[in-house]
Amino acid sequence: MTDPDIAPAPRSASGYDLTPPDAAERAALEADLSPEERRVLLAHGTEAPFCGTLLGEKRAGVFCCRECGLPLFRTGTKFESGTGWPSFTEPVDPAHVKAITDRSHGMTRTETRCARCDSHQGHVFPDGPGPGGLRYCINSVALAFVPAGQPLPDPLRRGDGSA
């Protein structure tokens, strides 16, 4: 029996639970982060260009949010932008990546955040290839790569899919 006063968990079109972590879940997720991951994901930092471990990653698979495990990008949408950060043309599901206006550093950009845990991922720019023309410029440290066929990280125990 379903309680009519309790709304169902928000889900993306691809079936992932987008319910934000509660305070205890968030504390557990953040406790597992390295100092550099904390600086980028939680304090909206940027890793140095050409230093990220995922810049040259070409294997088939999925790039997930390092903090909560939500799948964000697929290898097939990754391209070499020459900027020094992994770049993608589109997310796994548009509902998985939030766009936030960022007016820091004397310019206006569009920041990208994980739609589930709200962690900073990078920025999106309108100068990418393909029909969409977007370039999601993402920090390697904000992502966890999962090779095709392997189970996706599920630190929130939501039971969401595999690569």
Give yes or no: 137 in active site: yes
d(CA 60, CA 163) in angstroms, rounded, equals 9
Annotated catalytic residue: which of 65, 68, 114, 137? 137
Active-site amino acid positions: 137
